[in-house]
Amino acid sequence: MSGTRGSRRNWLGIAWVMVLLILGGCSDNPPPVVPDSVPSPPAEEFSEAAPPPPPPIAPRVSPPVVPEDEFASRSLEELNRDSPLDPAYFSLDSSRLDASAQRVVEANAEVLRRYPNWIVTIEGHCDERGTPEYNLALGERRALATRQYLVELGLDPTRVRTVSYGKEFPFDPGHDDRAWAENRRAHFVITDR
């Protein structure tokens, strides 16, 4: 697992070097407009084995400033592959956030406060035992309950979208208690920033 991730980072490093070479190569032409979203510095950071120390608490100023840390330079795909936001899990046929699910949402709220420009979509998911039709509503209920708690914790509601996938996209394809528990979740996806 970690080997795969390491080699993926190496490849990304190479990709970034190529991006820089391409951008550099264009400099003979009229001054290139480098988009704000191009992160810097890129290459070295991805080859580091250990992540940098935790970022400081986000400043309470507007417009929001993106903290200078590992997440700033990652693509949305990268961020979601190794997400700092954990899923909240539910019990069977329930959309109630129990104590441990609440703790997860509270921790996610902290992360979202630290990155005030992140927009998240909360996906509601169900295990395979219910019918696909009812599970669409149940998944929506899970997503809405999670969103509601985030809003109660003070998060700007416009930053939190919801979507239900019912039982269509299980995270664990198994057919046992462990797989089912894994699949009853509110899954946080960073969809914009």
Nearer to other proteins, 16 or 180 (CB): 180
Distances (CA, A) of 116 to 81, 129, 166: 20, 37, 29
Cβ contact 58:156 at 8 Å: no
Count CB neighbours of 120 within 10 A. 24
**Shortest Å, Cβ 33 to other proteins:** 26
Nearer to other proteins, 60 or 178 (CB): 178
Cβ contact 184:126 at 8 Å: yes
**Shortest Å, Cβ 22 to other proteins:** 24
Q: How do strand 119-125 and strand 185-192 relate by DSSP bridges?
A: antiparallel
Nearer to other proteins, 40 or 131 (CB): 131
Residues in touch with other proteins (CB under 8 A) = 76-77, 80-81, 93, 121, 123, 129-134, 136-138, 140-141, 144, 161-166, 168-169, 187, 189-191
**Shortest Å, Cβ 21 to other proteins:** 27
Q: Report the C-alpha gap between 170 and 188 in whole angstroms.
A: 14
**Shortest Å, Cβ 164 to other proteins:** 7
Nearer to other proteins, 68 or 177 (CB): 177
Q: How do strand 160-166 and strand 185-192 relate by DSSP bridges?
A: unpaired
Cβ contact 138:130 at 8 Å: yes
Nearer to other proteins, 66 or 151 (CB): 151
**Shortest Å, Cβ 66 to other proteins:** 19
